[in-house]
Amino acid sequence: MLQLYFSPMACSLASRIALMEAGLDAQYHQVHLLTKTIVDDGSDFHGVAAKGAVPVLVLENGERLTESAAVLQYIADLKPETRLAPPLGDPDRYRLQEWLSFVGAEIHKAFLFPTFWYKDDGSLAKPRARIAQTLSVPATHLADREFLVGNRFTVADAHLAWALLLLRPAGVDIAQWPSLSAYLERMQARPRVREAIATEMALRKQMTA
């Protein structure tokens, strides 16, 4: 069975959403990212992933796959009939990769990651100044579209929905982009997305209790 190493409400949430939307069973292993331990047994997470970061997907053959863009496409390709990614050779596949890269690099690493992991000693001023410009890109794109790619939900939507959810605790109110707020509401109305978020929110609460 597939196994996903995750941390509640971290970027690995997108992989959980993808697994659930694909209807794939998986074992989920919670990781404590500050201590780099696996919650199941307290062992060192570096034994699973040298990068020390989630998501890590353990494949059926035991290999481990990291990086959300790769993990999400792998999950989608396990169930091509769900069209969670356009098939290889379809020009929209490159649009999917374009959005996965954008969310991973421009929203996650350029803004969310430093906001949650670095002390605000003034060094966050530049990422904060840039985030509105960054978010205007998906906001404009989604002004007349329901989904990021084509006319159906893909793993790129799972990735962006996660990033948008984290913006509020990072101090950005997405209400200033009505198309993004409406998009996030649409994503959260999907039963599997809602279930994935509820599961991880409950685990997150336990962590802070």
Binding site for ligand GSH (CB under 6 A): 10-11, 33, 52-55, 67-68, 104, 113
Backbone conformation region of residue 171, classed left if phi is above 0, alpha if psi is from -120 to 50, else beta: left
Per-residue tokens: 206: 């336990």
Smallest separation (angstroms) from ligand GSH to the CB of 160: 13
Q: How far is the CB of 55 from ligand GSH (least distance, A)?
A: 6
Reduced to 3 states, what is the DSSP secondary structure of residue 26? Answer: strand
Residue nearer to ligand GSH on the CB measure, 179 or 199: 199
Q: d(Cα 173, Cα 167) in Å, to the nearest integer? A: 7
CB of 143 to ligand GSH, least distance (A): 26
Q: Which two tokens stand for residue 30?
A: 């919670």
- Supply 194's token pair: 């809602």
**Nearer to ligand GSH among residue 54 and residue 170 (C-beta):** 54
- Pick the closer one to ligand GSH by CB: 53 or 197: 53
Residue number closest to ligand GSH, CB atom:
53
Provide φ and ψ at 181, rounded to 5°.
Answer: -60, -45
Question: Tokens 């009505």 appear where?
Answer: 178
- Name every residue whose Cβ is closer than 8 Å to that of residue 78 and which is 6 or more positions away in sequence: 22, 24
Query: Which one, 51 or 205, has the nearer CB to ligand GSH?
Result: 51
Q: Which amino acid is at 30?
A: Q
CB of 58 to ligand GSH, least distance (A): 15
Write down the least CB distance from residue 59 to ligand GSH, Å: 16
Q: Nearer to ligand GSH by C-beta: 113 or 147?
A: 113
